[in-house]
Structure 1
Amino acid sequence: MKAITHPIKQSAAFLLLGLVFMALSSCAATYRDHGYVPSESELAEIVVGVDSRESVADVVGVPSTSGILNDSGYYYVKSRVRHFGAMRPKEIEREVLAISFSEAGIVENIERFSLQDGNVVTLSRRVTDKTVNDNTFIRQLVGSIGRFSSGTLQ
C-alpha cells in the first residue's frame, strides 16, 4: 500500500481525520454539579440537641435555602446533570440535607434525602425525637427541581 504523498491529498486526509475526531469527541457526556451538601465528616461535628444555628453555620456554612414557612431549618441541595451531545440535559442525581431546629434554635434533626425513580428516599436520619414533622417542604423541594416548563412561568 502506498502512502499519501501529494500535499492536497495529505491535507484532505488530515482534515477528514480531524472532522471524525471532533464528531466523536462531541458525543462524550459532560457532567455539571450544582449546589452544595456538607460531607459526613463535617456533619459528624454537629451534635443533635446541643448545637445551635450559629454553630451549624460556623461548621458547615449557611445554606442558600432555609425553611420559608416558620424558619424551622436549613436545607442544602446538590444535583448532578448529564449533558450528552444535542440531547436535552438530564438530572441524574439529587441530594437534600435538612437540618431542623427547635424554637430555641437548637438542632433537632439532621436528615439526608435522595431522589431515586421519582421517589424521595431517606439516606440517613439523626433525630432527637421519633416524630418528624417537616417532610412536606423537603418532598416539594426535591420533587419540583427540573420539572419547570416555559409555559408555567408566564
Structure 2
Amino acid sequence: MLKVVNRLKPASKRLVFAACLVAAGACTPIFKNHGYVPPADQLAEIKVGVDTRDSVVETIGAPSSAGLVKDSGFYYVRSRVRHYGPKRPEVVSRELVAISFDQRGVVRNIERFGLEDGYVVVLDRRVTESSVQNRGFLRQLLGNIGNFNPANIPGAN
C-alpha cells in the first residue's frame, strides 16, 4: 500500500502544477484593439485649407465613421479594451481624430481627442426599433383584413 501512495505523489504534484498553470493563465489580461487612427506623419501630410475630402481619403484612407450632415467631418476612432478574467471589459485607451470640412469640402480643422487628454469620448450605437412584433409573414400580410375602410382611399369622396 505504501508503494501505491508513493507513486501517486508525483502524479498529484503534476496535477496541482497543471491546475496552477491553468489558473494563472485564466488571470492573464487579454487586449483587443478596435478601429484605426492614422499615424501623425500621415496626418501631417494633410494641409488645412488646401486638401479636400477626396484627397484626405487618398492620403490616410476612408474614415471609420463620418458625420450625419453632408458638410460635417470624418472621424477615425481607435479603442483598446482589456478583458481580465470574469470582470467587465475595460476601455484602456480611446483615441479619436476628427477632420472637419467647410461647405466647399475643404479641410477646416484636424483635432485629436483621447482619454489621456482628459476627454471621455463616448461611443454610442443607436438602433431603430422595428414596429413588427414577433409576427409571422402571413399574419402581417393578412392582419389588416377587416380593417378596410373605403373612406380612407385618397380621391374617394
Q: Give the alignment's TM-score, normalised by structure 2.
A: 0.70
Structure with max Cα Rg: 2
Partner of 1:94: helix, strand, or coil? strand
Q: Counterpart of 1:88? A: 88
Q: Counterpart of 2:63? A: 63
* 1:52 shift after superposition: 0.9
AA aligned to 1:38 is P
Q: How does 1:115-130 map to 2 (within 5 A)?
A: 115-116=115-116, 119-120=118-119
Partner of 1:46: helix, strand, or coil? coil
The two structures, once aligned, show a CA RMSD in angstroms of 2.5
Separation in structure 2 between the aligned mates of residue 33 and residue 144 of structure 1, nearest angstrom: 15
Q: How does 1:1-154 map to 2 (within 5 A)?
A: 6-116=6-116, 119-120=118-119, 142-145=121-124
* 1:120 shift after superposition: 2.0
Q: Counterpart of 1:130? A: none
Is the 2:77–2:95 contact (alpha carbons within 8 Å) kept by the matching residues of 1?
A: yes
Is the 2:71–2:102 contact (alpha carbons within 8 Å) kept by the matching residues of 1?
A: no
* 1:39 shift after superposition: 0.7
AA aligned to 2:78 is K
Between structures 1 and 2, the one with greater strand share: 1
Partner of 1:120: helix, strand, or coil? coil
Partner of 2:115: helix, strand, or coil? strand
Separation in structure 1 between the aligned mates of residue 7 and residue 47 of structure 2, nearest angstrom: 72
In the alignment of these two chains, the number of paired residues is 124
Partner of 1:78: helix, strand, or coil? strand
Separation in structure 2 between the aligned mates of residue 6 and residue 54 of structure 1, nearest angstrom: 76
Separation in structure 2 between the aligned mates of residue 85 and residue 145 of structure 1, nearest angstrom: 25
* 1:13 shift after superposition: 1.1
Is the 2:71–2:105 contact (alpha carbons within 8 Å) kept by the matching residues of 1?
A: no
Unpaired segments ≥5 residues, structure 1: 122-141
